[in-house]
Amino acid sequence: MSFSKLFYLVPFMVLSFVFSNCPDGTDVCLSLNNGSLEYDSTADIAGFQFNHNGCVTGASGGDATAAGFTISASGTVVLAFSFTGAVIPAGTGTLVDLDGDVNEGCLSDFIFSGPGGDALLVAFSVDPVLGCTDIEACNYDSSANTDDGSCEYPEQNFDCDGNCLFDEDCFGICNGAAITDEFDTCCELWDLDSCGVCFGDGSTCEYGCEEGVEVCLTLDGGNLDYSSTANIAGFQFAHNGCVTGASGGDATAAGFTISASGSAVLAFSFTGSVVPAGSGTLVELTGNVTEDCLSDFIFSDSEGEALEVGFPVVLVDGCMDMEACNYDPNANNDDGSCEYPEENFDCEGNCVAEEDCAGVCGGDAVEDECGICEGDGSLCTVSLDLSVNNETGIMSVNMSNAMDVAGFQFVLSNVEILSVAGGSAEENGFLVSAANGTVVGFSLTGATIPPGDAVLLEVSFVPLWDESCMSDVVLSDPFGAGIAWNVGECVTLDFTVLEGCTDVDACNYNPEANNDDGSCEYPEENFDCEGNCTVDIDCAGTCGGSLVDDLCGECGGDNSTCSGCMDPNALNYDPEALVDCGPDCCQYPADAMIGVSNVTEGMIDVSMENITDVAGFQFNITSSCDSVSVLSGTGGSSADAGFMISTSGTTVLGFSLTGATIPAGSGLLVSLEAGWLGCDSGSFGLENVILSDIDGAALTFNIMEDFEFDAACSDVDACNYGEPGDCVYPEDCFDCDGNSTCYYSVDINHTGESHLIILMDSISTLEVGDEIGVFDLMGVIETDSTGLNPQYGEVLVGSTVWDGVANNEGVVTEVTAIMSLDLSDFGGPILNGAVDGNPIVVKVYDVSEGVEYEMTQLTTDMGGDFGDIMTVVTDIDLGEAPEVAHVQVIHNSPSPVVDIYLDGALAVENFEYRTATPVLELSTSFTVGIAPADGDVIAEFPFELMAGGEYVVVATGILGDAATPFDLAASGTSFGASNNYYTGLHVYHGSTDAPAVDVLADGGLLFGDLSYGEFSTQVEVAAVDYTIGIAPTGGDVIAEFIAPLSGLGGTSAVVFASGFLSGSDPAFGLFAALTSGDVVALEVPINIGDPCDINDDGVADEGFIFDCSLSCVSDAFLGDAWCDEAFPNFNCVEFNCDEGACGDCQELSNDILSPVSFELSQNYPNPFNPETTISFSIPNISEISLTIYDINGRVVDVVTEGVYSPGVYSFIWNGMNLSGELVPSGVYLYKLVTPSQTFTKHLTLIR
């Protein structure tokens, strides 16, 4: 090499050397050459940044500038990057020139990135230190930072000191594979024969099948031989084509069918025979057969269970138990040589259990409290016990101690200690003191009580209980350490226990008791032991209660009863309100009325009545129920207008993407699917309402009152109407109380014997709801207990209701008829029911017509008599419909008790005054006979009625009276009402000495000028409670009665006046006969707290009556009655009281019954469809008007207007406007205008 070449080579080597002195793995190696920051990079540089401590005053140039980088230098940072994505390519050079007093120590926090934004590892170069840098090398140099290739490594299997790291084999080779055979000959593995013998020829091997093999096979030429421990019921194996045939052997001898295909041999017996356990030739195989060409052996025993099959192998004896210490994984023949570790030890003799205190592995020896292994604790425990000398009464404390005791302390229970002395404590100079049952002993001189068993001290005491025990013992040794102790049993003391209450605050405190037995009794809170209230009483009369009167004067009230809108300009202005309901309560004429109109489980209906087109709406649902969430909205006028409805939580938003609007009108706006948590009832309303028109301007609105939701049953026909839970309905033919409601009600008991009658869908004469009764006209109806003297007659043995619904076999319904059962052979009765062989008779009651068909003819496919296998009815001929009428009879003649005969047959027995029959079904032509009870008929009355008609017949008048003789009065009527909201009402004037009268309901005229013996017309009234007023025709009300019709919706009643005005035997009264036959006496209304109503229940108490001036008096002194009896001309029928000799008083007046103020009641029902009743009260003659308005203040209808006299009036609004047109669903206002006040309330119409 020339010198010039060397000259150029050396600088290159030096430069390369400088840039290669960074740690391994460095991507960018930096160095400083004066102010130049130089680099050696293995990756492209896309940007860099580093911090400085102020040493850099500027940065520019270098390869960064050449690459087009933007370079900036602040007082602490240098930053360089490219806006174009250029990079400084991998290599070496000057990165950037830095101005200032720059050194390597003032630069830090280098951040370099590659083109992908990935971080590059950066470091400064260091001076090279040559040497071996591989820590695994034998000559590793920890000070070197540059590997010079000098590393030296140990030979395989040896360490750097030449030591073998593994076991040597039998040739002495480290980690060699040579082994020693059973003859102690060493050889390599490849020098072992198949028997494991070095350099052997394989002749020494022992062959056999492995353990667990049940069928061991061998090949002897073409013979497949076997040795089996189980019977062989069949076998199969595969081959690779080496077998060309199979036959013979013990398989053929056993009668096996043997077949050989090109890939398998199969053998089995059709007769169930087996190749018995043993050995021999199983089958002879032809072909070039070897063990290797046979596979997949399947052998089974006679139970079909698989047998384990195998060929002999070279047996390797050894231990095959993996848990044994000498387990041989190569062994396949367990030779019984397994060795196991001792209990609690492993195979290396290590203890695998815990050692006990005696050092025994797994032992159970433990240290006692003295720390002595298997000790009994006596060497460090002091025993203490008590004894009492019954003669002296002195208690001895005994101590047994095996060590010196330097101090003691203990507590004696249930004694008052008088003194302590004596014993080993005194002998050893201990200072002993006692206080409050605690005994303390110690020595001021450091003396101790030496080991021993003696009396520690003696205690003089007074017993406080019948036993004393030692506790809280503290013992110390001479060094101040604690000593373990135990104490003996408690000792019995001479003390008498007195049980009782020992609490002086208890009502039954016993000062003589010394043991509290838990019997203490304490007064109720706020009361003393005598039951006197010891604190303030609230407005409800509750001792210590917190209720106060609200602003309405209502105890515990929330001001709601007197709160309302107090703005006279509002639509809902309430002149009687005392508390303003707030700014959002008053309602004014607006563009729309919106609110929740109905809530059912999972659905909220929002309705709107608007007089302006609505282009969009938004609102939130509010509720007293928890976690209300609106899921979706559908239907209503918003859907009709094509609005998009979106919901989130409780927010509902509706608008049109096409600019459509909801036109003026009223009805359902949207139905919202919603959910809420566990709320059976609550209020639902709207808030945050926004309505806009087509121009986006806000519309004015009023919000309806919150809808009150109740998850209770809302079906008035259900048994649990108004109660929480799903509606519950009675079973067919029964009411909610379990009473039969069907025409045919079987009242005989089941006997266990029955006859099945099937009615098919081919029957065309029945309608849904028709009742079917099955009769035996000569069935058993009565027998005595011994089965003698049975009586036979017509008996109802089964019934059903036709529903018209057939099953897949065409069966609509079935009747299980009750059969008679003769138990007389066993000393029992003959049970009621149908008799075998008697013909089956079917009667049908047409519910819609109220007619019974008795003479039916059956068409049957099977059986027409009782006792047949069954009866299948395919048709019923009803015959001619009987002509019947429905009649209710009322007894209103004062005497006597009578029997009623129909066409000579006793129909009603012992029919008493002021009672009624239920509605009876009678023929249209009959004669009624009247007889005193158990007497002969004294009068007969023939009747000819209309078929299907409904009538009420009243027995009226007085027997033997010429002016008002006994008679039967009859009138057509209608039983029931058109729906469950109304009650049918019919009135009969049956008071013989009363004048013609007007009948009023809640002050409004119901019937006028009704004379004795006359019936009113029949009307339907809302099923609510009324006050019925009786007034002389054109006069003032003289008597009032409460008519409780609120529970009679859907039914009817006949109200009849009964008794005498001129006397009290019987006294005048009003009674209501119900269709069930029940008669209700109408009560006279009184005010709570009146003299007649001492118990404040609103009903006259027993022992009080109203006299003819409607004053409440004791029935011991009947007011005017004595005067009327003494002076007959001064009787009540003349409508005056006690004139002349009996004194003067005011004439009868209805002043005390007239309203004292104007009132407007809430309509009923509400909501309603199709009509509702509105009631109001007038205290004096006044001109009034009752008007219906819509929510915008427009007149819808004038219900009534004019001059009215004092009283209570009710009017029905039928949901029509002034033009007689039905108005739509929505919220309306009804306003009563009087000379002094105006009343407004809401009503809701739902179509």
Per-residue pLDDT tens over the stretch 1085-1136: 754 345 555 555 545 555 555 444 444 544 433 334 333 333 333 333 332 3
pLDDT for the residue numbered 742: 82
pLDDT for the residue numbered 4: 36
pLDDT for the residue numbered 1047: 76
Q: How far is CA 86 from CA 40, 59, 77, 111, 658, in A?
A: 18, 19, 21, 17, 54
> Strand pairing partners for 399?
384, 454
Nearest-angstrom CA–CA distance, 1226 and 1247: 9
Nearest alpha-carbon partner for 1012 in 1068, 1084, 968, 956: 956
Return the H-helix or E-strand segment holding 424.
helix 423-427
3-state helix, strand, coil in the chain (%, to 5): 5, 45, 50
Q: Which has more confidence, 239 or 1109?
A: 239
Cis peptide before 1165 (omega within 30 of 0): yes
Residue corresponding to tokens 């081919």: 762
Here the tokens at position 367 are 């240290």
What are the pLDDT digits (tens) for 1150-1180?
333 457 788 998 888 877 888 899 999 888 7
What are the pLDDT digits (tens) for 503-512?
999 999 999 8
What are the pLDDT digits (tens) for 780-818?
987 766 677 888 999 999 999 999 999 998 999 999 999
Return the H-helix or E-strand segment holding 7.
helix 3-18
DSSP assignment of 293-329 equals GEEEEEEE-TTS-EE-EE--EE--EEB--TTSTTB-T
Q: Are 394 and 458 in contact (CB under 8 A)?
A: yes
Nearest-angstrom CA–CA distance, 1159 and 1005: 18
pLDDT for the residue numbered 1181: 72
Nearest alpha-carbon partner for 685 in 606, 627, 746: 606
Here the tokens at position 334 are 């367990």
Question: Could you give the 3-state DSSP secondary structure of residue 1239?
Answer: strand
Per-residue DSSP letter, 736: T
What are the pLDDT digits (tens) for 200-228?
887 777 778 888 899 999 999 999 999 99
Here the tokens at position 1228 are 């309306």
Average pLDDT, whole number, for the chain? 84
Could you tell me how many residues make up the chain? 1247
Q: Are strands 467-468 and 407-412 parallel, antiparallel or unpaired?
A: unpaired
Q: Confirm whether pTM is higher than 0.75.
A: no
List, edge to edge, every strand of the sheet that includes 1226-1233.
1195-1204, 1182-1189, 1226-1233, 1238-1245
pLDDT for the residue numbered 722: 62
CB within 8 A of 868, min separation 6: which ones? 755, 862
pLDDT for the residue numbered 1102: 56
Nearest-angstrom CA–CA distance, 117 and 1216: 81
Q: Which has more confidence, 1202 or 486?
A: 486
CB within 8 A of 995, min separation 6: which ones? 1011, 1032, 1033, 1133
CB within 8 A of 116, min separation 6: which ones? none
CB within 8 A of 399, min separation 6: which ones? 382, 383, 384, 405, 408, 424, 449, 452, 453, 454, 455, 456
What are the pLDDT digits (tens) for 741-763?
788 888 888 888 999 999 999 99
Domains located in the chain, CATH noted: 22-125 (2.60.40.680), 207-334 (2.60.40), 381-492 (2.60.40.680), 587-710 (2.60.40.680), 754-877 (no CATH), 884-1085 (no CATH), 1090-1152 (no CATH), 1159-1245 (2.60.40.4070)
Residue corresponding to tokens 């590059």: 120
List, edge to edge, every strand of the sheet that includes 47-52.
70-73, 77-81, 47-52, 107-113, 119-120
DSSP assignment of 1031-1059 equals EETTS---EEEEEE-TT-TT-EEEEEEES
Here the tokens at position 29 are 């190696």
Nearest-angstrom CA–CA distance, 173 and 518: 94
What are the pLDDT digits (tens) for 1178-1234?
887 778 999 998 877 788 999 998 877 677 888 999 999 988 899 888 878 899 998
Here the tokens at position 225 are 């031989």
Q: How far is CA 13 from the centre of its chain?
A: 88
CA-derived radius of gyration, the chain:
58
Q: Are 234 and 268 in contact (CB under 8 A)?
A: yes
pLDDT for the residue numbered 1094: 52
Question: Could you give the 3-state DSSP secondary structure of residue 1124?
Answer: helix
Share of the chain above pLDDT 70, in %: 91
Nearest alpha-carbon partner for 1177 in 1186, 1169, 1168: 1186
Max alpha carbon distance in the chain (Å)?
173
Q: Looking at the predicted structure, is the pLDDT value of residue 724 above 80?
A: no
Nearest-angstrom CA–CA distance, 538 and 362: 78
> Strand pairing partners for 1228?
1243
User: Stretch 429-452: mean pLDDT, rounded?
Assistant: 91
Detail the DSSP E strand segments found in 389-533. Answer: 395-401, 407-412, 415-421, 431-435, 438-442, 452-463, 467-468, 470-476, 484-487, 491-492, 499-500, 515-516
Side-chain-side CA neighbours of residue 875 (13 Å): 5
Side-chain-side CA neighbours of residue 92 (13 Å): 12
Most confidently modeled of 15-24, 406-415, 511-520? 406-415
User: Stretch 8-30: mean pLDDT, rounded?
Assistant: 57
Nearest alpha-carbon partner for 641 in 607, 673, 614, 606: 614
633: number of Cβ within 10 Å: 24
pLDDT for the residue numbered 1118: 37
Q: Looking at the predicted structure, is the pLDDT value of residue 249 above 90?
A: yes
What are the pLDDT digits (tens) for 907-920?
889 999 999 999 88
> Strand pairing partners for 970?
953
